[in-house]
Structure 1
Amino acid sequence: MSMFKLCFICSVLSVVFTSASAFMTNGETFRRKLSVEVNPGLNPPSSLPPGVNLVHVRAQGHNDTLHFIFCNQGAPSLLLVHTNSTKSTVHVNWPEFINRTSSGSLKVEPQSSVQYSNALMITRLWEYSDVNNTADPQNTSESRFYPPYELQNFIWSDLNTTVNQSDHRIMICGGDRTVSFINGSFCLQISAYESEGRESSWPSLLHNSNSTQVRMWLDGVTSRGNNSRFMLELQTVGDSEFQGRVDVRSSIDDEYTPSIFKVSQWVSFPVNSSRIWGYTQWKPVAYRKPRPVFEDATPCKHSQPVPIAQPPHSGLIQAYFRGHPQTYGLNISFGIAGDPFYNVTNYLSWTVLMGMGDPPADSFSTLIIIIMAIGLGTPLVLIIVGGVFVWIRKRMSQSTGYEPIN
Structure 2
Amino acid sequence: MKFFINYKLIGFFMSFLVFGCVHADGAKRTLSAELNPNCPESICETKNENNATTLIHVRADGENDTLHYIWDLSRQPSVLVALCERDTNVTINWNETFMDVKTVQFTIKPKYTMSFVLTKVFIFNDVTDQASIIGVNKSNIETIDARELTWTREEFNKSTNEVKVAVSGKDDASIGCNGVINLKLKCYNEEDHDKETPHLLHSANVTQVDMEFIDLIPSDTKFESIRIAAEFVLVADSETTKTPFTINKRKTVDDENTPGVFTLIDINTPQVKNNTHASYLQYRPISYTEQSRDITKRTDVHLNQPDFLDDAETYLNLSIAYSYYGNTLDQYLVQSFNVSFGQREDKFYSNYTTWTFILGYGTSPPEHVSMFIAILACIGLGIPLLLLIIGGVYLAVKRMRNC
SS of alignment partner, residue 374 of structure 2:
helix
Unmatched 5+ residue regions in structure 1? Answer: 1-9, 400-406
Query: Is contact 2:286-2:298 (8 Å) kept?
Result: yes
1: CA distance between counterparts of 2:89 and 2:19? 42
**Residues 106 and 174 (structure 1), Cα distance of their counterparts in 2 relative to 1, 3 Å cut:** same
Indicate the residue corresponding to 1:118 in structure 2.
Answer: 114
CA contact (8 A) 1:17 1:373 kept: no
Aligned partner (choices 342, 347, 353) of residue 335 of structure 1: 342
Shift of 1:215: 0.7
Contact persistence 2:272–2:278 (CA under 8 A): no
Aligned 8 A contact 1:287 1:297 in 2: yes
Q: Separation in 2 of the partners of 1:336 and 1:273?
A: 42
Matched, 1:350 2:350: no
2:64 corresponding residue in structure 1: 63
- The separation in 2 between residues aligned to 1:21 and 1:205, in whole angstroms, is 23
Pairing 1:317–2:321 present:
yes
Query: What letter is aligned with 1:336?
Result: Q
1:41: which partner in 2?
A: 38
SS in 2 for 1:373: helix
Secondary structure of 2:69's aligned partner: strand
CA distance in 2: counterparts of 1:252 and 1:174, whole angstroms = 37
Q: Does 1:213 align with 2:218?
A: no
387 and 133 in structure 1: CA distance in 2 versus 1, 3 angstrom threshold: same
Q: Could you give the per-residue CA deviations for residues 109-165 of structure 1, whole angstroms, max 9, x where no partner exists?
A: 122xx1111001111112222224332433448x973221111221111x3x62223
Q: Which residue of 2 aligns with 1:278?
A: 279
Q: Matched residues in 1 for 2:272 and 2:74: separation?
A: 31
Deviation at 1:292, TM superposition (A): 1.9
Please give the per-residue CA displacement for 1:233-281, whole angstroms capped at 9, x wherever unaligned: 1110123426531212211211011111111111223359655521111
SS class of match (1:321): helix
Q: 1:299 to 1:275 in 2, by over 3 A?
A: farther
CA distance in 1, matches of 2:170, 2:252: 37
Deviation at 1:46, TM superposition (A): 4.5
Distance 1:266 1:273, change over 3 A: farther
- SS of aligned partner of 1:280: strand
- Judging changes above 3 Å, is the alpha-carbon distance between structure 1 residues 38 and 136 closer, same or farther for their aligned structure 2 residues? closer
Q: Distance in 2 between matches of 1:139 and 1:220?
A: 25
The one-letter code of the counterpart of 2:92 is: V
Q: For residues 61 and 368 of structure 2, what CA distance do their matches in structure 1 show? A: 27
Residue by residue over 1:8-57, the C-alpha shift from the partner in whole angstroms, topping out at 9 and shown as x without a partner, is: xx99x96x974652232x32333322222122122244556752332111
| Counterpart position of 2:234 | 236
Shift of 1:96: 7.7
Q: How many residues align?
A: 376
Amino acid at match of 1:234: F
Q: Is the 8 A contact 1:194 1:209 kept in 2?
A: yes
Residue 333 of structure 1 aligns to which amino acid in structure 2? Answer: S
Larger Rg: 1
Any idea what SS the aligned residue of 2:21 has? helix
2:179 corresponds, among 178, 184, 187, to: 184
1:402 is matched with none
Q: Report whether the alignment pairs 1:307 with 2:305.
A: no
SS at match of 1:80: strand
Alignment of 1:149 onto 2:150: no
**Could you say if the C-alpha distance between residues 32 and 384 of structure 1 is closer, same or farther in structure 2, counting changes exceeding 3 Å?**
closer
Equivalent-residue separation in structure 2 for 1:275 and 1:332 (angstroms)? 29
Shift in Å, 1:63: 2.7
SS in 1 for 2:354: strand
CA deviations over 1:335-393 (Å, ceiling 9, x no partner): 111223211xx111111111212212211223432443345445545544654565567
The answer as to whether partners of 2:21 and 2:378 remain within 8 angstroms in 1 is no
- TM alignment of 1:102-141, pairs within 5 A: 103-111=101-109, 114-140=110-136
Bigger CA drift: 302-311 or 362-371? 362-371
Identify the residue that residue 333 of structure 2 maps to in structure 1. Answer: 326
Match of 1:4 in 2: none
What residue identity is the alignment partner of 1:98? F
Change (3 A) 1:116 1:272: closer
CA distance in 1, matches of 2:166, 2:190: 21
Aligned residue identity for 1:355? G
The TM-score with structure 2 as length reference comes to 0.83
8 Å CA contact retained: 1:175, 1:185: yes
Tell me, yes or no, if the aligned pair for 2:134 and 2:304 is still in contact at 8 Å.
no
- The aligned amino acid for 1:80 is V
Q: Which moved more, 1:87-96 or 1:130-139?
A: 130-139
Decide whether aligned partners of structure 1 residues 60 and 237 sit closer, same or farther in structure 2, where only a CA change above 3 A counts.
same
1:304-360 superposed Cα distances (whole Å, 9 cap, x missing partner)? 2221112323242222014123211111111111223211xx111111111212212
Give the aligned residue type for 1:164. N
The 8 Å contact of residues 97 and 105 in structure 1, kept in 2 or not, is answered as no
Alpha-carbon distance in 1 for matches of 2:300, 2:391: 49
Alpha-carbon deviations, 1:202-232, whole Å to 9, x = none?
A: 1111112211211111123226433211112
Q: Which amino acid aligns with 2:38?
A: G
In the other structure, the counterpart of 2:28 is 31
2:54 alignment counterpart: 53
Distance (Å, rounded) in 2 between the aligned partners of 1:380 and 1:151: 60
Amino acid at match of 2:239: E
| CA distance in 2 between partners of 1:293 and 1:170 (Å) | 24
